[in-house]
Amino acid sequence: MKKLISIGLLLAVALTSMASFAGESRKDRLMNFYDAFGKAQVEKLDKIIVKNWISHDPNPGQEQGREGFKKFIPLVHSAISDVHWQVEEMIEEGSTIVVRSTMTATHTGPLLGVEATGKTFTIKAIDVHHFNRRGMVTETYHLEDWIAYLAQVDALGH
C-alpha cells in the first residue's frame, strides 16, 4: 500500500508540473525565447529556459544563465531598433528543437565596435535547444551571421 501511495504521489507531482504546459507544444512555448529577444520581453524567458541555462555560444558580454541573458538583451536593444525576428523553421526530434530564423533591425547605437549607422540589416541564425522532462530549455547552441551585419553596415575593410 505504501508503494502505491508513493507512486501515486510521484505521478501527481509529475502531472502538476506538466499542467502549466497542457495543450501547448514545445514549439509554441519556444516562441517565448524569440519574443524575449526580438521584442525585448525578457520576462518571457522565465517560461522557457531554466535558471541555470547554458548558452554554449554566448554573445560577447553575455553572462551564462537565464539572468545573464536577461541582462544582455537590453544591451543589444540599446544598439538596434525596429527589431523583427522571424522564425523560419523548427525541426523537433526527441528532446531537441532546431530553429532557423532571421532578424532584421536598424543599427541605432554602438554594436560590435561599430558606431550607429542608421542602416537596416538582416542576419540569419541557427539555434539548437535541448529540453528537460518538464519542457524547459536547459542548453542552447547558437550561431548568428554577424559578418552579414558588418557587411550591411559597411563596417568591413575594403
pLDDT tens-digit series, residues 8-64:
544 444 443 443 455 689 999 999 999 999 999 999 999 999 999 999 988 878 899
- Stretch 100-116: mean pLDDT, rounded? 95
The pair phi, psi for residue 126, each rounded to 5°, is -130, 130
User: Which three three-digit cell numbers place residue 31?
Assistant: 516562441
Contact 100, 124 (CB under 8 A): yes
Contact 49, 135 (CB under 8 A): no
Tens-digit pLDDT profile for residues 58-100: 887 889 999 999 999 999 999 999 999 999 999 999 999 999 9
Instruction: Kindly report the pTM of this predicted structure.
Output: 0.82
User: Which three three-digit cell numbers place residue 68?
Assistant: 545573464
Domain spanning 2-152: CATH 3.30.413.10: no
Q: What is the pLDDT of residue 53?
A: 97
Beta strands in the chain (DSSP E): 49-55, 80-93, 96-107, 120-131, 137-144
Question: Does the pLDDT value for residue 131 go beyond 60?
Answer: yes
Residue 154 CB neighbour total at 10 angstroms: 10
Residue 90 CB neighbour total at 10 angstroms: 18
Cα angle vertex 61, ends 38, 63, to 5°? 85
Residue 103 CB neighbour total at 10 angstroms: 20
Contact 103, 111 (CB under 8 A): no
